[in-house]
Structure 1
Amino acid sequence: MPMIINAQQTATPRTYVDQVLDHWRQDEDAEALVQGARRLTRGEARRQLFRMGHALRRQGLEPGDGVGLFLANRVDSVLAQLAVHLIGCRVVFLPPEPGPGELAALVEQSRARAVVTDPLFAERAADAAARSVHAPVLLGLGPCEQPSADLLALAAECPEERPEGVPAPGPDEAITVLYTGGTLGRPKLAAHSHHLYDALLDLVQGDPDGDSPAAFPVTSPGTERVLAATLLTHGSGHLMTVQALVTGSVLVVLPEFEAGAALEVLREERITATMFVPPMLYALLDHPECVPGALPALRRVVVGGAASSPSRLRQAVDVLGPVLSQGYGQSEALGITAFAAEDLASQGALRPELWRSCGRAIAGTEIEIRGEDGTAALPVRQVGEVCVRGRTVMLGYYEDPERTAEALHGGWLRTGDMGYLDAEGHVYLVDRAKDIIVTGSTSDNVYSRVLEDFLLTLPGVRNAAALGVPDEEYGEAVQVFLATAEDTDVDPDAVGAAVTAELGDLYTPRRTVLLDRLPTTKVGKVDKKALRAAWTDAAPATR
């Protein structure tokens, strides 16, 4: 890997895009980006990137301007994101799910001067742009029916040389804005500076002192084939994209996740590394063709984005081999902890409780578990809110000082996740603060993560979600939703009895709803907001 030169070593600070281009100037005929039949070499990718940069500039964009990206998983989407940073503009990732009013509000709040949209989303993007008082330019990533310019057609007429005259970003300048998952309410826009990318570059190299795990260790730089299976416009997809490109790896883009299609791509493209959110991993494991030895090239699977079931993680190691690593982060802090595959497999065999851990702090990151006031650190193994400080932590919520003040205190981020630390610094997450179910005669806490982990150990249960529903006697009651395997009879009464026997009366579900599958967001997380809306008054124990 070419040496990374930081701002202290040169008068012109280098960015992660420079790191990508270092690779794309070498061995120009080697593959760089793949999506089905679309295969770009390094030379082709570099030239197309430069043309896109010029095309964006010709729309009147200047360094520091915001560019909204409302994109699907495509090779051109990867290049569009790089092009925005190449010309010194601010990337604003837009979520795929909100209604027109919410999308328009996010475009307006982000102060986007332009919105680049996939043709699939063009109608919604046009509506959002029309509602914004800033009247952003609408650019299609291909021909669109809506009145917008085709960025790819414009790029075809532009020079293949790198755009010049791009100033270095300031230390506190927002260059990337990530939306939060939105499963608990309206998404927020987490703004990050170039320090995020400095930290991500360090993560792929590891900690030279060996005190912190390498979140994304690269066995052989330039030889990895990385699959981007989650949304490119979400933090998880962006993380995998950057990790692949700055190491000279081939990036293979999966347009949409479906277990059979993902398995085929993993096998045919000889994928060595990828990232899945838990529901994706579970669906893959449940596919009949996912058997030991089916993916011999696979060396690393990062699981993150939501809490993972220990029983499912052990199953993944049994089927895929010791390739599984865990990561923990969020839009507000893209990297927080990591658990390397070799450590998880070896230490988990000796200490089974480690399967519940998402690892230790990555290099340059501090973690404290704090009480309700958000200031006092709690002792080892005492549950509180996970608070984080480090280079991956956001500057704040873009144009949202009130919510920024609630989340950031003295450089420490209040993550909203509840968990605890063990004596070795491993982090164990037990719930989202807003997902804790407060119930019982003494108003005790039921941690949905603990309950869901147990439910996933029961025969015939493929996925599980627990949430609190209004209850006249106790304020909230426990309700669970189970996705069950085909041709399997799951008895709700037996489920309740098993929960009571293992976790106690407090965790006993008042109602159990059986489904073929649980609803998920576009990011791949179980959509508890949808469950609350659709099933709070559902009839019990019916498909």
Structure 2
Amino acid sequence: MPVIVNAQETSGPRIYIERILEHWNRDEDAEALVQGAQRLTRREARRQLFRLGHALRRQGLAPGDGVGLFLANRVDSVLVQLAVHLIGCRVVFLPPEPGPGELAALVEQSRARVVVTDPTFAQRAADAAGRSVHAPALLGLGPCEQQCPDLLALAAECPDVRPEGVPAPGADEAVTVLYTGGTLGRPKLAAHSHQLYNMLLDLVDDAEQDSGSTLFPAMDEGTDRVLVSTLLTHGSGHLTSLQALVTGSTLVVLPEFEAGAALTVLREERITATMFVPPMLYAVLDHPECKPGALPALRGIVVGGAATSPSRLQQTVEVFGPVLSQGYGQSEALGISAFGAEELVSEAARRPELWRSCGRAIRDAEIEIRGEGSTAALPVGQVGEVCVRGETVMLGYFEDPERTAAALHDGWLRTGDLGYLDAEGYLYLVDRAKDIIVTGSTSDNVYSRVLEDFLLTLPGVRNAAAVGMPDEEYGEAVQIFLATAEGADVDPEAVGAAVTAELGELYTPRETVLMDRLPTTKVGKVDKKALRAAWLSGDLRTV
């Protein structure tokens, strides 16, 4: 329900922005948003939100229109996202990892009428908008070399009163769209309704009542301070920021993650809660300044986004105390299971294997483990595909009924992840059925299909496979295997440079292996498991 209605009209469905404004209308001199020297009070944040809403409206946007957000971690980025929902428009998150072709396809398929870009991304945004048939208007979040209008300058000329006359969203209306991979010409865009934000409010209320499995500790308005260090245009950063705002907590934004800088902000800003993906958590734990007692204000760390080492989880508790929560979700279902801090520590003392679990179903979510092509639940302890139903599940893939039908059946989402449930309902993940490689310092997704599609456009490449290999620092590293044409002169370094130029540094392969052929399964698909096993054994001749 990221769209807003007038205050007197809120007896219908709950609107998360109403909860934020309730806080921002009280104790107006309290800090609301912080990023370094930029510190906005609740009054200033509210007024800037309203100005941005008017400025966006003046671009001809109407309720239901899509607005692409190609933004870095900034206080202004938080307010722009809220402003898009404030005027009843659809947020389309454009994360920085896609290369030019994929980004252009994402903008086109999402039907964004306007793209708001951070100045540092302006050239890429202009290229993507220029490739789109719909030719969306481009706005900079500050002055840009591309000479596009500056949204902040436009907002400064607008009234600081709330925009009026915005209709409430429909139950099946897509209000937020998240990129979740695809191919160079056909991205997958997970579309969510206001039910996603109902779930967020429910989790916050559960934490306050100390009931159910919840990621969030109870927040105390005016006291708690939340640090967002993951990308605001990803699900984790988006929900972390909103968790802070709907509880009246101060939100502190970390522009870029670096362990030393994160520790400084955690200490100096007296952060009480934050969220890390595993490589971030590991980097903080390994920093020489990270010692027991170094962060006395910190009482909540959520870890998620990728598999986390049980020994590292235990180390976190040893250093920071019983503050650690785990969460499992994906763009298609931003909340599936959770392990609250007190539950994790107390239960794991009784059953150490629970350190490998990602908790139990969150409020209003149902989890079943199913066999391939089956709608029947498998017995306890048996590995199958994780399926979920509940408020956090997407409406479907935006503008993509075929792939929606493949992923959703009777409200149940097939996650593509493999796992099992124990007798007490704890979920354990064992593998990803989808070939996503989670890598980099922020645990971002490398979509192997996108990479492979591009590799097959290169001269001399007959077949390609992108595989995630174990990496001590990032969990996984990108490795590519290429079957080359006879007599073709394929230079691995040139291949890596081409990948970086088209898809971005996240996709740059750690190593490129040239082969005469790639192993295949009986149905003719490249056998990535065989490739991975042969490489790790040191003998590719076995495939």
Q: Normalising by structure 1, what TM-score?
A: 0.80
Counterpart for residue 472 of structure 2? 483
Q: Note the alpha carbon deviations across 1:188-222, whole angstroms, 9 max, x for none.
A: 21000001101110011118997731232314234
Report the AA paired with residue 16 of structure 2: Y
Counterpart for residue 43 of structure 2? 43
Counterpart Cα distance in 2 of 1:228 and 1:95: 16
SS in structure 2 at match of 1:227: strand
For the 8 Å contact 2:122–2:146, the answer to whether it is kept is: yes
2:89 maps to 1:75: no
Cα deviation for residue 373 of structure 1 reads 1.3
Counterpart Cα distance in 2 of 1:43 and 1:217: 26
For the 8 Å contact 1:53–1:163, the answer to whether it is kept is: yes
Counterpart for residue 414 of structure 1? 414
Unaligned runs of 5+ in 1: 437-447, 453-464, 468-475, 486-520
Cα deviation for residue 288 of structure 1 reads 0.8
2:63 maps to 1:63: yes
SS in structure 2 at match of 1:113: strand
Counterpart for residue 444 of structure 1? none
- Change in 2 beyond 3 A, CA 1:398/1:425: same
Structure 1 vs Structure 2: percent identity of aligned residues? Answer: 76
Aligned-CA RMSD value: 3.2
For the 8 Å contact 1:20–1:248, the answer to whether it is kept is: yes
Counterpart Cα distance in 1 of 2:17 and 2:202: 15
SS in structure 2 at match of 1:240: helix
Counterpart for residue 235 of structure 1? 235
Counterpart for residue 212 of structure 2? 212
Unaligned runs of 5+ in 2: 440-445, 449-464, 475-499, 516-534, 539-543
SS in structure 1 at match of 2:308: coil
SS in structure 2 at match of 1:393: coil
Mean Cα displacement is larger for which, 408-417 or 173-182? 173-182
Counterpart Cα distance in 1 of 2:276 and 2:88: 31
2:275 maps to 1:275: yes
SS in structure 1 at match of 2:33: strand
Report the AA paired with residue 331 of structure 1: S
Counterpart for residue 174 of structure 2? 174
Report the AA paired with residue 355 of structure 2: W
SS in structure 1 at match of 2:434: helix
Counterpart for residue 254 of structure 1? 254
Report the AA paired with residue 74 of structure 2: R
Counterpart Cα distance in 1 of 2:185 and 2:299: 36
Counterpart for residue 384 of structure 2? 384
- Change in 2 beyond 3 A, CA 1:163/1:424: same
- Change in 2 beyond 3 A, CA 1:133/1:67: same
Counterpart Cα distance in 2 of 1:265 and 1:207: 25
Q: Note the alpha carbon deviations across 1:454-502, whole angstroms, 9 max, x for none.
A: xxxxxxxxxxx9x9xxxxxxxx9998543379xxxxxxxxxxxxxxxxx
Within 5 Å, give how 1:4-403 maps onto structure 2.
11-180=11-180, 187-206=187-206, 212-403=212-403
Cα deviation for residue 301 of structure 1 reads 0.3
For the 8 Å contact 1:205–1:217, the answer to whether it is kept is: no
Report the AA paired with residue 199 of structure 2: A
Cα deviation for residue 25 of structure 1 reads 0.5
Mean Cα displacement is larger for which, 341-350 or 363-372? 341-350
For the 8 Å contact 2:24–2:248, the answer to whether it is kept is: yes
Cα deviation for residue 185 of structure 1 reads 11
For the 8 Å contact 1:174–1:193, the answer to whether it is kept is: yes
Q: Normalising by structure 2, what TM-score?
A: 0.80
Mean Cα displacement is larger for which, 340-349 or 427-436? 427-436
For the 8 Å contact 2:33–2:75, the answer to whether it is kept is: yes
For the 8 Å contact 1:190–1:398, the answer to whether it is kept is: yes
Counterpart Cα distance in 2 of 1:192 and 1:478: 30
Cα deviation for residue 179 of structure 1 reads 1.3
Counterpart for residue 527 of structure 2? none
Report the AA paired with residue 149 of structure 1: P
Counterpart Cα distance in 2 of 1:479 and 1:244: 34
Mean Cα displacement is larger for which, 205-214 or 111-120? 205-214
Counterpart Cα distance in 2 of 1:94 and 1:222: 32
Aligned pair count reads 463
Counterpart Cα distance in 1 of 2:468 and 2:370: 28
Counterpart Cα distance in 1 of 2:131 and 2:119: 19
Counterpart for residue 521 of structure 2? none
Q: Note the alpha carbon deviations across 1:49-96, whole angstroms, 9 max, x for none.
A: 000000000000000000000000000000000000000000000120
